[in-house]
Structure 1
Amino acid sequence: MAQPDPTTAQATLAALRDRAERGDPGAVEELIDLAVELGDMSELRRLADAGNPTATDELIQLAAEKGDLGELRRLSDGGNATAADQLIELATEQDNLDELRRLAAHGNTTAAEQLGELTAE
């Protein structure tokens, strides 16, 4: 799918935000879909931080695809188990022992197991 014109996309995002703020649930769904299409992590983050679980899920998926450890860490540290799982997976793929150690030190047993496997090799 071709990327929409940036000016048009921003205008559409603004219109959808306005509709969503007025309580239109369809606009929220459209806003999430467009943000995903555009790869707009800041819009997804705004919606996720406002408590939208679909936006949170999409943000996690996009952050994992982009290799954004910082975003996954933020969500994981906020208690999101899916983000923690994705963070562990990404840190393992990148051989990021420091991140796995940090997670293990905070009691994440999966991170501790992955760390053990990576350091045993």
Structure 2
Amino acid sequence: MTDPDPEALRAAAARGDSDAVDQLIELAAERGDAAELRQWAAGGSPDAADLLVELATEREDHDELRRLALGGDTTAAEVLAELESD
């Protein structure tokens, strides 16, 4: 199986292909690309937001978790509270 072509996926996503969007989000998560996950999350993707929280948690990135929590992400708020209580 060949790796997906990110440019082809971006073009498909721009045309509204939700499968391409899902693949791009997954690829960003695999690369640990918080900036791209932020963009997808800001665009309304709950999957990207969840993966961004997961990535920030793995990295113990309190600033990112705080930013997400202030934006209304309850999972990020819970994780941040847990990390700061340790």
Larger RCO: 1 or 2 (CA < 8 Å, sep 6+): 2
Aligned residues: 86
Q: 1:108 to 1:58 in 2, by over 3 A?
A: same
TM-score, normalised with respect to structure 1: 0.65
Please state how far the C-alpha of 1:118 moved relative to its aligned partner: 1.1
Return 5+ residue gaps in structure 2 as ranges: none
Return the index of the structure with the highest Cα Rg. 1
Q: 1:119 to 1:46 in 2, by over 3 A?
A: farther
Please state how far the C-alpha of 1:120 moved relative to its aligned partner: 1.1
SS state at 1:116 partner: helix
Q: 1:91 to 1:41 in 2, by over 3 A?
A: farther
Report matched runs for 1:37-116 at 5 Å. 37-38=3-4, 40-116=5-81
Q: 1:48 to 1:92 in 2, by over 3 A?
A: same
Equivalent-residue separation in structure 2 for 1:75 and 1:115 (angstroms)? 21
Equivalent-residue separation in structure 2 for 1:101 and 1:41 (angstroms)? 30
Letter of the 1:96 partner, please give it.
D
CA RMSD of aligned residues (A): 1.5
Return 5+ residue gaps in structure 1 as ranges: 2-33
